[in-house]
Structure formats: structure tokens, C-alpha cells
Amino acid sequence: MTIRDSNILMKRANLRAHICDLPRTSGSNLPKLPPNARFYSRWKRNLQKFVLVSTRHPLTGLILRSQTAVAFEKRRHSKSPYRWMIHPCSMLRLFCEYKCNRIRYRRFYWDTVMTVTFLYIFITVPHIMCFYRIGKSSGPEYWNIVYPIYAVCIIDMFFNFITGFVSPDGHEIFLDTTLIARKHTPKSLEISRRFTYLIYIYQFLYRTLEFTILQLLESSVKPKLKYQRIVHEVKEYIHQKKLPLYLQKKLIFYYKYRYYDCFFKENVISDILSGHLNQEILFHGSQRLLDIMVLRNLPRNVLGDLINSLKPVIYLKGDVIYKASIEGEYMYFIASGTVALITFSGKEIYHLHDGDHFGEAGLIYPNQPRGESVIALEVCELLRLHRRDFKRFFAVNSEFYNNLEHIVYERSKRIKKLEEQNISETTKQ
């Protein structure tokens, strides 16, 4: 080919090429900045370019079919109240782009980051749960490698709420924050709601039935469970105090006899009941006391107050209820059991059984020491009356007061007689 022919071809190529005389712009459709604009204004304008729609995004050509539509979308976005919302087809959503063998590949920036994040979580969290938590050696230091990834997930949630979305038909792009928030709420999840509701209802009914059955089973054995818990605490107390074997057995037997293998809060039940019903229960439980001669002539209201002021106490076999020559302030009624009255010198006076009473001298003569000792011959349930309550219910020289005074006098005479006999026997020997 000659030089002349090559010149002709170059002229023809120049004639075919279009040389545009219009000034080139950035294509962002943003207001142009003056040449002396500040750095902050330039940085702000460049950042806004990243959140606007870009022709380099692979979805732009599918949603916006022409350059006019792209320019209109940029103007709409930049002038709207949501100008700083991220456009779903913006440059900020791209990770990288490159060409290889004339085939263009595009990867989405944040989607790629989240893919790596989820893969990392799916590997590390099960590893920690399986090899450390089950082995009871899961410390905070093992989770330090996961906490930064949680921060990435939080950032992902933040980006989702500041990024617009395309309508399902692909004809409209929404940048409204309210619509974006509604889109990311659980109601937008594409699930079978009716089937899910049925599962929820089934689970609710099943758990309710299971809870009711467990409550019924627990309520039936709850007193026994409480008793077992108390016994366990007593055993822990015994172990801590290092009590001898005989004292351990005595303590365990006391609780077993006291609660009858069941535990209930008597004061709570009594507080719920009415006063009349409580009094009827007291009369029924103290039926043996009503047959005592000294209480038989008392008015019903006084008798009810008296029984209500009695405090139940339990003494095991061999326990000393009180000793002679010691001042006392209690009188005792025997609900069940047998006790022995013994003089100071060790002479047995007599035995008292269910329905009997003793210790009256502690109420009638406050400053006088007791003339006898009392020992439980078997497990005894006693009702104890304090001197304070006795003075509150009965005045001096009342019928009940005089009856007790007579009983104390007769018992003192008998004790004195036994003591004199014991002294005479000792003298003869």
C-alpha cells in the first residue's frame, strides 16, 4: 500500500468519526462547585456521588433503560429529602470490577463482605460451642474472635436501613426511610403465615397443657419436696457442726415427728381463714383440753383466746422440760405423751398423761423456785402458756386462778411429804 492510499484512508476515518464540541461533565447532575470551593464541600460532593445511581452498576441497565432515565433518577435523588440514602444501584454497592478476556465481572462490595462474615461465623461459633462450652472451659477470651464479626453484622443491619430498594416489578425505586423500615420488618418475610400460626398455636397449647400437668404433679408432692429440702439443710447443718451420732439421730427424728414427712406453712393458712373458722379448728385440735376439769367451766370466748395463746412445743424421750429450784414462767398442758415429776432429791412423784397439766406454780408464784423437775418419758407434744397471757386473761382471785392455786398447794404438800420421807429414810440408813 502506498503512502497516498494510507492518507486517503485516514481522511475517510476522520470524516466518519464524530467530534463532539459540547463540554464534558461529571454526569452526576449535582450543582457545580466554584473553583475556590472548600475541601469540605468537595469531599461532601464526592461522597454524594457514591450514593447516587451509577451506570457502572450491573442492575442500572435493567431498571433504567436510557441515559435520560439515569439522569432523571440522579436529579430526583439529589433533590429529595433522602439525598443521603444509598441508592441500590450506586457505586457504594460495588466491590470491584475488572475485565478479563473481554468478559466483564462485577462483584457487590457489601454482599461479598457479608458472605465472608457468615462463613466465618458458621465455622467459629460451632467450634467454640462444641469444643469449649461443652467442656466447661468456655471463657470470654474464646469469644473475642467472634465479637468483631458481630460488629460487622450490626453495620450490615445499619446499611440495610439506609439503602433504598427496587419495587418487585422493577419499575420504581424507593428511598423513603419509612418504607425501607417496613420492608425489613418480619412481616415482609415470604413465609407461609397460616402454617406458622398453626405451629405457634400448637406450641402454645402444648406448653400450656404441659405446664398445667407439671403444676398438678408438683402441687401434689410439694409438701414432701419441701420437707426433703428441710431435712437436707438439717443434714448439712449436722455435717458442719460435726455432731455426734446420737445427737444426729435425735435431730432427724425431731424434724420427722414435727412435720410428719410433709411441710406446710401453718401461719399462712391461718391468716387466710376467718377468725371463727380458726377458732373452730383450734377447738377441734384441742378437744382433749376441753375435757380438763380446770378448763371446763371457762366461757367459750375466754377458752378460745386461751387456746389461741398456747404455743405448741415438742420434747423427745429423756428431755428435761424444766428443773427444780429454778424460777419458771410457763404452765404446760399435755396434748400427747407421758412425763414424770421428780422431787429435788430424785424421788418420783407421779406420772402425767394426755390431758394433764403441770407447772402451775410458775404462774401463781412468779418469784418462787419450782419444787419439782419434769422429764419426758416419751415423745411429748405440750402446749405452753406464758405468765403474761395468764395475767391478761385471768384476774387474781378469779375462779380459774383459785383452782390453780389450790392445785399448786396440794402438789406442794405432796412434794414436801415425799421430801420428808426421803430425809427420814436417809437418816435411818
Tell the residue number behind the cell numbers 469469644, with chain if given: 143
pLDDT digits (tens, 9 = 90+) for 350-361: 899 888 889 888
**Average pLDDT over the chain, rounded to an integer:** 76
**Whether residue 407 has pLDDT greater than 60:** yes
User: Rounded to an integer, what distance in angstroms lies between the CA atom of residue 361 and that of residue 404?
Assistant: 8
Nine-digit cell string for 22: 459540547
Pick from 18-32, 164-178, 231-245: least confident: 18-32
**Domains of the chain, with CATH numbers?**
46-184 (no CATH), 278-427 (2.60.120.10)
Q: State percent of the chain over pLDDT 70.
A: 74
Residue 315 pLDDT greater than 70, yes or no: yes
The model's confidence at residue 338, banded by pLDDT at 50, 70 and 90, is very high
What pLDDT is attached to residue 320? 92
Query: What's the chain's Rg over C-alpha atoms?
Result: 49
Tens-place pLDDT, residues 201-213? 888 898 888 888 8
186 pLDDT band, cuts 50/70/90, is low
Report whether pLDDT(188) > 80.
no
- Using CB atoms within 10 A of its CB, is residue 120 exposed (0-12), middle (13-18) or buried (19+)? middle
pLDDT at 76 over 70: yes
pLDDT, position 332: 92
Question: What is the predicted pLDDT for the residue at 99?
Answer: 38
Residue 282 binned pLDDT confidence (cut-offs 50, 70, 90): low
Residue, of 268 and 370, whose pLDDT is higher: 370
> pLDDT at residue 340 above 90?
yes
pTM of the model: 0.47
pLDDT of residue 416: 84
Q: H helices of 80-192, where?
A: 109-128, 140-143, 147-161, 177-183
Q: In the predicted model, what is the mean pLDDT of residues 281-289? A: 66
* DSSP state for residue 30 in the 8-state scheme: P
Q: Biggest alpha carbon distance in the chain?
A: 171
115: Cβ contacts below 8 Å, ≥ 6 apart: none
In this prediction, residues 306-320 reach a mean pLDDT of 87
Q: Are 326 and 395 in contact (CB under 8 A)?
A: no
The whole-number average pLDDT for the span 68-83 is 79
Between 334 and 64, the more confident residue is 334
pLDDT tens column, 80-115: 887 778 878 777 665 443 333 333 334 456 677 788
**Average pLDDT estimate for 138-149:** 72
Task: Please choose, from the candidates 418, 304, 296, 281, the residue with its C-alpha nearest in 3D space to the C-alpha of residue 357.
Answer: 296
